[in-house]
A and B are shown apart, each in its own frame.
Chain A
Amino acid sequence: MKFINYLEGITGISIYPMTSLLLFVVFFVLVALWVIRADNGLIDHMKNMPLEKDSID
């Protein structure tokens, strides 16, 4: 008996991995775009959040 990939025969199965890759690329580009264009002041503000003084005493 030969090794058969049982689900290979479904029509258009390649659409699933292709769509997933495409989705990721689009998504990644959008995030990268924002990151590059983000305001420096905002980034600095967020970056320093953990270091702000916790309590007043």
Chain B
Amino acid sequence: MELERFSYDNRLPKYFAYATILWGVVGMLAGVLIAFQLAFPFLNLDMAATTFGRVRPVHTNAVIFAFVGNGIFTAIYYSLPRLLKTKMFSKVLGNIHFWGWQLIIVAAAITLLAGYTTGKEYAELEWPIDIAITLVWVVFGINMFGTILTRRERHLYVAIWFFIASWVTVAMLHIVNSMELPVSFMKSYPVYAGVQDALVQWWYGHNAVAFFLTTPYLGLMYYFVPKAANRPVYSYRLSIVHFWSLIFLYIWAGPHHLLYTALPQWAQSLGTAFSIMLLLPSWGGMLNGLFTLRGAWDKVREDPILKFFVVGVTAYGMSTFEGPMLSLKNVNAISHYSDWTVAHVHIGALGWNGFLTFGMLYWLIPRMFKTELFSKKLASAHFWIGTFGIILYAIPMYWAAFRSYFMFKAFTPEGQLQYQFIDIVQTTVPFYIMRAVGGTIFLLGTLLMVYNLVKTVSKGSFVESEEAEAAPLAKTYAPTGKRFWHSVIERKPILLLVMSLLVVALGGIFELIPTFMIKSNIPTIASVKPYTPLELQGRDIYVREGCYTCHSQMIRPFRYEVMRYGEYSKAGEFVYDHPFQWGSKRTGPDLARIGGKYPDSWHFNHMLEPTSMAPGSVMPRYPWLFRRDIDVASTNSKIHAMRMLGVPYEEGYEAKANEDLMAQADKIAATLKTDKIEISSKKEIIALIAYLQRMGKDIKAEPKTTDK
């Protein structure tokens, strides 16, 4: 058959690689900043945009969607054409994809620092950006499927399956979790509330880890590890089992983020069961990656790229062992809300995603510039520095988690809690410092890589496109051996796409539908009432400042939590919470029942200068809340939007909402005045105090009944 000539474009992979490096450094810098802020609160600089609650989402979003995201695209734009023996479908779409994605990243950083957030972790971006993400994702999809459909290789290599499954699942997750009602430009409320919002969010959150941080990187592993080691993957059969069982199981595991919460018990158990099963495919993948290097371990000693891959894949194995363990309820009781979770995700992010990316870049850049790596020694040094950084990051966090757990649950012989929350915070600070140093060391290693790659680029000459040739696909397919149904699937990309979608959608449907169908079965507690307009404004300030990054609003049914924070949380208490604010980490105490615990003046002083009320506190100061006026112009549309979402404000309440708002604000200002605090009732702090004083109080009004 006649061979066709074509060329592979290296320009877009190069751009994506540069973006990966740039955003990697930015994301890690933000991480180092917030790590030090936890130990030294003055680093919050008393400015809204530099305060932990706003910078933390920038860190997580930058690392996940900018660093890892561009890493994924680098891998796909490089490997896909080569595996399919064709050029990428469209240069124009590729360019739109590249620049669109970078624009989204810039918009995300600016808006998050400006306080525009939905308050849902890893999905913080507001609705206009959500739409932009959807559009760019579709462009990327068209470009990918266009390439697949015009291929010259009939069979799709396993890496491509992972890319396809990632694309379709991320699309589904993003759309379902971003269902929100715009209130104004850059402000929206999620259509789900309370328990349902929590379930959707962690179905999303967990699978963002699965289908953004894991499956595309498994594709990357299945392409670049064989490339770098110059030997095929250990077992292709294992990779098939690995692929299908991984994508099937992952999607069900989300509820393990909500153990011991007000989520229905059966959903919690389902999440646990599937999480434990997930260990097998995960380890299948890890072993497949590691065994690929069988008989080549002598190469690993010499080659820094393989070193990165080996430790990266090992880190994957470690965190996918840890994950199922953390989803056991008794282990989760210790880890949830603690620094353990933080350590866990950083083994994944720094080890798995970080090291795999570094290995890929060290392999890819010299090849695209037709030269050798500037310095193998420097790359080796980077490897050791990075590994040391991860260890120094993780160990203090594990230690801190166990230490604080034992302190939390310590009781005196008289049955009182032995330690105040603040005691525990203070003993954790040294661990925060060590962690921040570990993160800094990891960043230094990354900067070493930047230098090494810049030097490599400057001594090489860029190969814009590589010529290649291959025979076109024959019109009819004659299989080489026995036929079986799977061979039909992996020759038909659209069928593979549909199958993948079906497999992941099943999990979502089975998990979400019952909770939604039986909405009426979430017992509405009669005394739980909608927020007043002032409280609603205060809640939006709470969301804006990212309070949920350090404070939970979910008291678990443990003796030591109930004694510390009050009555454990009930599902029915959150029915008007758009979005839910249960949080995932307690750097500060739980706030679910903060209402009425302290006088208004306590909150006033605490927000102005936390250490004045809680000596030793690491909470930032919030001086701008005392300067800025409540945005009363938005009250009308906020009430309206809430009613559309099913919150029972009476018809026409919009018109008098601000009257009520001012009346309540004046009352708080008057109370403050009795404590000799003079402040205008128009300031944001008043709204925030109103919200804080409301939290968790409703069920206290519930008429007492005798327990059976």
Q: Is the CB of A56 within 8 A of B481?
A: no
Chain A interface, number of residues (Cβ within 8 angstroms): 45
Chain A residues positioned under 8 Å from B241 (CB to CB): 28, 31-32, 35
Enumerate A2-57 residues with CB–CB distance to B below 8 Å.
Answer: 2-3, 5-10, 13-14, 16-17, 19-21, 23-24, 27-28, 30-32, 34-51, 54-57
Chain B residues positioned under 8 Å from A32 (CB to CB): 241
Chain A residue with the shortest CB-CB distance to B468: A55
1/0 contact string of B223-266 vs chain A (CB within 8 Å): 10011001111001100110011001100100000000010111
Question: Which stretch of B111-119, B305-313, B516-524 is in the interface?
Answer: B516-524
Chain B residues positioned under 8 Å from A35 (CB to CB): 237, 240-241, 486
Q: Is the CB of A31 within 8 A of B245?
A: yes
In the bound assembly, the distance between CA atoms of A30 and B522 in angstroms comes to: 38
Known contacts: A7-B264, A13-B514, A49-B83. The answer to whether A2 contacts B223 by CB under 8 A is: no
Q: Is the CB of A49 within 8 A of B266?
A: no
Q: Chain B's nearest CB lies how many Å from the CB of A10? A: 6
Q: Is the CB of A19 within 8 A of B510?
A: yes
Chain B residues positioned under 8 Å from A31 (CB to CB): 240-241, 244-245, 486
Chain A residues positioned under 8 Å from B158 (CB to CB): 46
In the bound assembly, the distance between CA atoms of A54 and B226 in angstroms comes to: 14
Chain A residue with the shortest CB-CB distance to B227: A50
| B-binding residues in A (CB < 8 A) | 1-3, 5-10, 13-14, 16-17, 19-21, 23-24, 27-28, 30-32, 34-51, 54-57
Q: Is the CB of A17 within 8 A of B232?
A: no
Query: Which of A38, A46, A56 sits near B484, CB closer than 8 Å?
Result: A38
In the bound assembly, the distance between CA atoms of A37 and B262 in angstroms comes to: 46
Chosen A-B contacts, 24 in total, with CB atoms closer than 8 Å, are A1-B567, A5-B264, A5-B265, A6-B264, A7-B515, A10-B514, A10-B521, A14-B266, A20-B510, A21-B273, A24-B245, A27-B244, A28-B245, A31-B240, A34-B484, A35-B486, A42-B479, A43-B237, A45-B155, A46-B236, A47-B232, A50-B232, A51-B226, A51-B232
Kindly name the residue among B223, B227, B514 whose own CB sees the greatest number of chain A CB atoms within 10 A.
Answer: B514
Chain B residues positioned under 8 Å from A17 (CB to CB): 266, 269-270, 273
Q: Is the CB of A54 within 8 A of B468?
A: yes
Further 20 A-B residue pairs, CB within 8 A, beyond A31-B241, A39-B480, A56-B469: A1-B707, A7-B265, A24-B245, A27-B244, A30-B485, A32-B241, A34-B240, A35-B237, A35-B241, A39-B481, A42-B480, A42-B481, A43-B236, A43-B237, A46-B236, A50-B157, A51-B226, A54-B468, A55-B468, A56-B467
Chain B residues positioned under 8 Å from A38 (CB to CB): 237, 240, 484, 486-487
Q: Chain A's nearest CB lies how many Å from the CB of B135? A: 32
Chain A residues positioned under 8 Å from B570 (CB to CB): 6
Is B568 at the interface (CB under 8 A from chain A)? yes
Task: List 5 tightest A-B contacts by C-beta distance, closest first.
Answer: A39-B481, A7-B264, A55-B466, A5-B265, A34-B486
Enumerate B382-416 residues with CB–CB distance to A below 8 Å.
Answer: none
Query: Which of B222, B237, B469, B514 sits near A16, CB closer than 8 Å?
Result: B514
In the bound assembly, the distance between CA atoms of A40 and B237 in angstroms comes to: 10
Query: Which of B159, B237, B248, B468 sits near A50, CB closer than 8 Å?
Result: B159
Q: Is the CB of A6 within 8 A of B523?
A: yes
Is B572 at the interface (CB under 8 A from chain A)? yes
In the bound assembly, the distance between CA atoms of A13 and B79 in angstroms comes to: 45
In the bound assembly, the distance between CA atoms of A17 and B507 in angstroms comes to: 10
Known contacts: A14-B266, A16-B266, A40-B481. The answer to whether A47 contacts B233 by CB under 8 A is: yes
Q: Chain A's nearest CB lies how many Å from the CB of B278? A: 11
In the bound assembly, the distance between CA atoms of A9 and B153 in angstroms comes to: 54
In the bound assembly, the distance between CA atoms of A42 and B79 in angstroms comes to: 20
Chain B residues positioned under 8 Å from A3 (CB to CB): 557, 568
Q: Chain B's nearest CB lies how many Å from the CB of A35? A: 5
Chain B residue with the shortest CB-CB distance to A55: B466
Q: Is the CB of A10 within 8 A of B233?
A: no
In the bound assembly, the distance between CA atoms of A41 and B478 in angstroms comes to: 13
| A-binding residues in B (CB < 8 A) | 8, 79, 82-83, 153, 155, 157-159, 222-223, 226-227, 230-233, 236-237, 240-241, 244-245, 248-249, 252, 262, 264-267, 269-270, 273-274, 277, 466-469, 479-482, 484-487, 503, 506-507, 510, 514-515, 518, 521-523, 557, 567-568, 570-572, 707-708
Q: Is the CB of A27 within 8 A of B503?
A: yes
In the bound assembly, the distance between CA atoms of A49 and B335 in angstroms comes to: 42
Chain A residues positioned under 8 Å from B571 (CB to CB): 6
Query: Which of B249, B466, B484, B518 sits near A24, CB closer than 8 Å?
Result: B249
Chain B residue with the shortest CB-CB distance to A36: B237
Q: Is the CB of A7 within 8 A of B487?
A: no
Chain A residues positioned under 8 Å from B269 (CB to CB): 17
Q: Is the CB of B503 within 8 A of A42?
A: no
Chain B residues positioned under 8 Å from A20 (CB to CB): 252, 270, 274, 506-507, 510
Q: Is the CB of A16 within 8 A of B270?
A: yes
Chain A residues positioned under 8 Å from B270 (CB to CB): 16-17, 20
Q: Is the CB of A49 within 8 A of B481?
A: no
Chain B residue with the shortest CB-CB distance to A49: B157
Chain A residue with the shortest CB-CB distance to B232: A47
Chain B residues positioned under 8 Å from A14 (CB to CB): 266
Q: Chain B's nearest CB lies how many Å from the CB of A2? A: 6
Q: Chain A's nearest CB lies how many Å from the CB of B170? A: 22
Chain B residues positioned under 8 Å from A9 (CB to CB): 521
Kindly name the residue among A6, A21, A23, A57 whose own CB sees the greatest number of chain B CB atoms within 10 A.
Answer: A6
Q: Chain B's nearest CB lies how many Å from the CB of A13? A: 6
Known contacts: A27-B503, A50-B223. The answer to whether A7 contacts B518 by CB under 8 A is: yes
Q: Chain A's nearest CB lies how many Å from the CB of B688? A: 30
Chain B residue with the shortest CB-CB distance to A21: B273
Query: Which of B240, B482, B521 sits near A6, CB closer than 8 Å?
Result: B521
Known contacts: A13-B266, A20-B270, A54-B466. The answer to whether A48 contacts B232 by CB under 8 A is: yes
Q: Chain B's nearest CB lies how many Å from the CB of A29? A: 11
In the bound assembly, the distance between CA atoms of A44 and B233 in angstroms comes to: 10
In the bound assembly, the distance between CA atoms of A46 and B236 in angstroms comes to: 8
Q: Is the CB of A51 within 8 A of B252?
A: no
Q: Chain A's nearest CB lies how many Å from the CB of B196? A: 11
Chain B residues positioned under 8 Å from A49 (CB to CB): 83, 153, 155, 157
Q: Chain A's nearest CB lies how many Å from the CB of B415? A: 20
Q: Is the CB of A39 within 8 A of B482?
A: yes
In the bound assembly, the distance between CA atoms of A13 and B515 in angstroms comes to: 10
Q: Chain A's nearest CB lies how many Å from the CB of B31? A: 33
Chain B residues positioned under 8 Å from A43 (CB to CB): 236-237
In the bound assembly, the distance between CA atoms of A23 and B241 in angstroms comes to: 15
Q: Chain B's nearest CB lies how many Å from the CB of A16? A: 5
Chain B residue with the shortest CB-CB distance to A20: B510
In the bound assembly, the distance between CA atoms of A55 and B463 in angstroms comes to: 12
In the bound assembly, the distance between CA atoms of A48 and B638 in angstroms comes to: 58
Q: Is the CB of B155 within 8 A of A42?
A: yes
Chain B residue with the shortest CB-CB distance to A7: B264
In the bound assembly, the distance between CA atoms of A21 and B514 in angstroms comes to: 16
